[in-house]
Amino acid sequence: MPSLYPNLLKSLLLLLWSVVPLELHAITPHPVIPDARPIGSYSNGCIKNTQALALNGTGYQVMRLSRQRFFGHPGLIELIRYLGQQASNEQLGTLLVGDLSMPKGGPMPFGHRSHQTGLDADIWFWLDSPANAELLSDEQREKLQAPSVVIEHSQSIDLEKWHPENSRILQLTAEHPLVERIFVNPAIKLHLCQTAQPNERAWLHKIRPWWHHTDHFHVRLRCPPGQPQCQNQPPIESGPGCDSTLDEWFKIDTQPKITKKPVPVPLPEECIAYLQEN
């Protein structure tokens, strides 16, 4: 019997030798992708290591595919997935997602001054169309236009196009901890102030009035922690913003015309080199 032990040990060692490499290969993690890194400001910067948003997901569809503007910081991607899932869970409709950022961020050839650091996204107010019940074709995604929910030259929204589901989506977005602020037309902000219960106005703090934005809202994330090259906006003043500061937006109908051409601000040097890479 003693003579069997060396052979048994040898067999066990050979077995382990053949199995261990397979096990190590099986548990070896995928190559680690460096963390996404926003650089500069929302309107003057870029982002390294973006993540692409899947063109279709639970509760959402991406529009304008030809623009290739469905890239962003992983936190932004997760926010949109979360909102789509919540929209599906609560049967709010299908979110139609507009521009995020380009693959490297940076200035866009048209359409936006911001959206440069992978922390901005546009989401249409169109939730109730029958077309949203099924997957839209590429042609539909290019040609469909989001209708304005604001009555032109007024302080009122169009109640035939605006529904409580729109308010709920805005609330879900504003209550997400990564969200810094949300831009909507002043008439939409006014409607939210008028319809929200006084004890349920806290989320309106992040809803900010801004020019246009009659057919979509613009959600913006704050800079991720530990990213010193990313520049946040100044913090929002406290309170829901349903006071005289909102009234000021209705004293002029349109955005004031810029009489002087703004002096262009150069991109951060790291962005210039990065955007020029193939």
pLDDT of the chain along its 278 residues, tens only?
444 444 444 444 333 333 333 232 233 333 444 689 999 999 999 999 999 999 999 999 999 999 999 999 999 999 999 999 999 999 999 999 999 999 999 999 998 999 999 999 999 998 744 444 578 999 999 999 999 999 988 889 999 999 999 999 999 999 999 999 999 999 999 999 999 988 889 999 999 999 989 999 999 999 999 999 999 999 998 999 999 999 989 886 556 666 666 677 899 999 999 999 97
Residues in contact with 48: Cβ distance below 8 Å, sequence separation at least 6, in sequence order? 34, 36, 37, 39, 104, 274
pLDDT at 11: 44
Domain layout of the chain by residue ranges:
40-248+266-276
- Residue 228: which region, alpha, beta or left (left: phi > 0; alpha: psi -120 to 50)? alpha
Looking at the DSSP bridge assignments, the partners of residue 121 are: 219
CATH 3.30.1380.10 fits 40-248+266-276, yes or no: yes
The answer to whether 81 touches 173, Cβ cutoff 8 Å, is: no
Amino acid at 211: W
- In angstroms, the CA 100 to CA 115 distance is 6
Q: What is the CA radius of gyration of the chain?
A: 25
pTM of the model: 0.84
CA gap 186, 103 in Å, rounded: 31
In this prediction, residue 198 carries a pLDDT of 85
Q: CB of 38 within 8 A of CB of 119?
A: yes
d(CA 207, CA 113): 20
* Beta pairing partners, 72: 51
User: Are the CB atoms for 229 and 38 separated by under 8 Å?
Assistant: yes
* Cα distance between residue 56 and residue 127, in whole Å: 15
What's the pLDDT tens digit per position in 176-221? Answer: 999 999 999 999 999 999 999 888 899 999 999 999 899 999 999 9
Supply φ then ψ for residue 173, to 5 degrees.
-70, -45
**For residue 168, with 0-12 CB atoms within 10 Å meaning exposed, 13-18 middle and 19 or more buried, which class applies?**
middle
